[in-house]
Amino acid sequence: MPVNSFDNYPMSWKPDKKALKRPFYHSIASLLEQHIVNGFLAPGTKLPPQRELADFLDLNFTTITRAYKLCERKGLIYAVTGSGTFVSPNATRSIAMSANETTNWIDLGFGASFEQSNDIVAEVIQKVADKRYLKQLLNYNDPTGIPHQKTAGLNWMESFGIRTDQEHISIVSGAQNALAITLTALFEPGNRIATDLYTYSNFIELAKMFHIQLIPIPGDQFGMRPNELEKQCCQVDIHGIFLMPSCGNPTTVMISDFRKHELADVIRRHQLILIEDDIHAFMTAGIISDYQQPMFNLLPEQSVYICGTSKSMCSGLRVAYMVYSEVLRKRIMQAIFNVNVKTSSLDAEVITELILSGRAHEIVSQKKQLAQSANDIYSEYFPLRNPIGHPLSFYRWLSIQGHHDAIQLETDLKRHGIRVFHSDRFLSGQTTPDKYLRIALSSTNSLNELKMGLKILKQYLG
């Protein structure tokens, strides 16, 4: 029996002891998941300390630890050293970004990529369709890319500072697919991956699917703070790190060159696997003075470099390049075969033709011009007093005051005719008092529509 009486003792969660069955840790975890999913425990709720809950249920401490650990792996709860265990901000809803809704509102939420350049892509698709070896693009051969397609990819990435060979590059079905392959190949359920406090929401969803725990690391205007990463690595067993160095999604922060070296020292010292999602490198290399090289070059033996083409060329063609070392090659190749069987050679051929013909650079130039115009329009409505982040970002990170409920805010804005995404969607761990909106600048049908959407948002926020 418990030593203390809990009849009138305040606890945020008091599971029904009679509902528990053996094994108790599994039963407690199931009950906790039910109460979170059904809304009985709100996001951000601090759960009872493990010893306190063990005393209440008359069970040993280890049982509660195992139950909490199960829920932690599912992304339902998270622990903050010295503060306690909390219900995750996105435990009860999917935060994956998609454009699968047919609506009449102006979309300032989903991060598209200025689709106005798709007429160029359509011309190239017709050219590929007329090639004499078209039928060879429709078979099972070359599951990780035809040699000349890989060569084109190597040429494309060389402008970002990536130099490798055909044995250590694979063409996969988009950056999201590359992330799933990386998690399948190199991580196991229960592993921990360090991320920025605010990070790519679809990576958060992937981590949930693979039962991988994300460890949020604070940052500043230069990127993730190395001292905070070092502290977390010393406190818990971290296996990997996920970074978007050229333009962090959603914050637009670019990791400076000196910060890349500082982070590389920590990553090397703790033998972390670096997942470098550099989907915006095409907007940075050769423009931003502080862009020297990708982090892959600093840590080639323990990194996976991912370069998607959805933002630079065409979102509908799901193509990305994965670069990896010989140490990781066998596991990644096996995961590619298991997950993909093969990548579409037809899609890869269109991207290859865009690169080799020079049309890819034409598209990039057009998108940079559109991004500049969109950012100029954004600055008219929301002046950037202290600009932080990529100057040509396809989205902006807007600090807001006085709007606290994420779901209600997004719903209200839809009623006003626009869709935006609240910062809670991007939280990799604990909630924060700071609130933001990620404003997509690249998803409207025209710049005039963007102006209309930003005007509505400005009036709503006051």
Q: Is the domain of 164 the same as that of 276?
A: yes
DSSP codes joined into one string, 288-344: STT----GGGTSGGGEEEEEESTTTT-SSS--EEEEE-HHHHHHHHHHHHHHHSS--
User: Which run of H or E residues covers position 230?
Assistant: helix 226-235
Average pLDDT over residues 78-93: 80
Output the six-digit token pair for 226: 């190395």
Q: Lowest-confidence range among 2-16, 128-142, 316-330, 447-461? A: 2-16
Q: How confident is the model at residue 89 (pLDDT cuts 50, 70, 90)?
A: confident
Q: Lowest-confidence range among 256-270, 315-329, 387-401? A: 387-401
* Residue 37 vs residues 43, 71, 142, 349: alpha-carbon distances, Å: 10, 12, 44, 44
Hey, what amino acid is at 247?
Answer: C
196 backbone dihedrals φ, ψ, rounded to 5°? -65, 155
Q: Is the domain of 415 the same as that of 318?
A: no
**pLDDT over threshold 50, residue 1:** no
In a domain, 174, yes or no: yes
Percent of the chain with pLDDT over 90: 69
Q: Is the domain of 260 the same as that of 405?
A: no
Greatest alpha-carbon span in the chain: 82
Q: Which residue has the tokens 């991320």?
A: 195
Question: Which one is predicted more confidently, 93 or 173?
Answer: 173
Q: Is the domain of 353 the same as that of 409?
A: no
Q: Is the domain of 195 the same as that of 344?
A: yes
Which pLDDT score is estimated for 102? 45
**pLDDT over threshold 90, residue 93:** no
Average pLDDT over residues 127-134: 93
In a domain, 308, yes or no: yes
In a domain, 132, yes or no: no
In a domain, 33, yes or no: yes
Q: What is the pLDDT of residues 28-53, one digit of tens each?
A: 999 998 888 777 787 888 999 999 99
Which pLDDT score is estimated for 99? 53
DSSP codes joined into one string, 348-369: HHHHHHHHHHTHHHHHHHHHHH
Domain-terminating residue out of 300, 327, 357 = 357
Q: Is the domain of 67 the same as that of 80?
A: yes
* Domains: count for the chain: 3
Question: Which one is predicted more confidently, 285 or 75?
Answer: 75
Q: What is the pLDDT of residues 280-319, one digit of tens each?
A: 988 876 665 556 789 999 999 999 999 999 999 998 999 9
Q: Is the domain of 220 the same as that of 265?
A: yes
Q: What is the pLDDT of residues 200-256, one digit of tens each?
A: 999 999 998 888 889 999 999 999 999 999 999 999 999 999 999 999 999 999 999
In a domain, 11, yes or no: no
Which residue, 82, 24, 80, is CA-closest to 54? 24
**pLDDT over threshold 60, residue 195:** yes
Residues 273 and 43: their CA atoms lie apart, in Å, by 30
Which pLDDT score is estimated for 5? 56
Q: What is the pLDDT of residues 406-443, one digit of tens each?
A: 888 998 999 999 999 999 899 987 777 789 999 999 99
Query: For position 455, which CATH number holds?
Result: 3.90.1150.10
Which pLDDT score is estimated for 374? 96
Q: Is the domain of 287 the same as that of 401?
A: no
Which pLDDT score is estimated for 190? 84
Which pLDDT score is estimated for 112? 83
Q: Is the domain of 307 the same as that of 383?
A: no
Q: How confident is the model at residue 100 (pLDDT cuts 50, 70, 90)?
A: low
Q: Is the domain of 382 the same as that of 353?
A: no
Domain-terminating residue out of 314, 337, 357 = 357
Q: Is the domain of 428 the same as that of 321?
A: no
In a domain, 122, yes or no: no
Residues 449 and 446: their CA atoms lie apart, in Å, by 5
Which pLDDT score is estimated for 346? 95
Q: Which residue has the tokens 């196991």?
A: 188
Indicate the SS3 state at residue 145. Answer: coil
**pLDDT over threshold 60, residue 101:** no
Question: What is the CB neighbour count within 10 angstroms for residue 433?
Answer: 5
Number of separate helices (H) and strands (E) present in the chain? 15, 16
Residue 454, domain extent? 106-117+361-461
Residues 111, 244 contacting (CB under 8 angstroms): no
**pLDDT over threshold 50, residue 459:** yes
Q: How confident is the model at residue 7 (pLDDT cuts 50, 70, 90)?
A: low
Query: For position 71, which CATH number holds?
Result: 1.10.10.10
Query: For position 190, which CATH number holds?
Result: 3.40.640.10
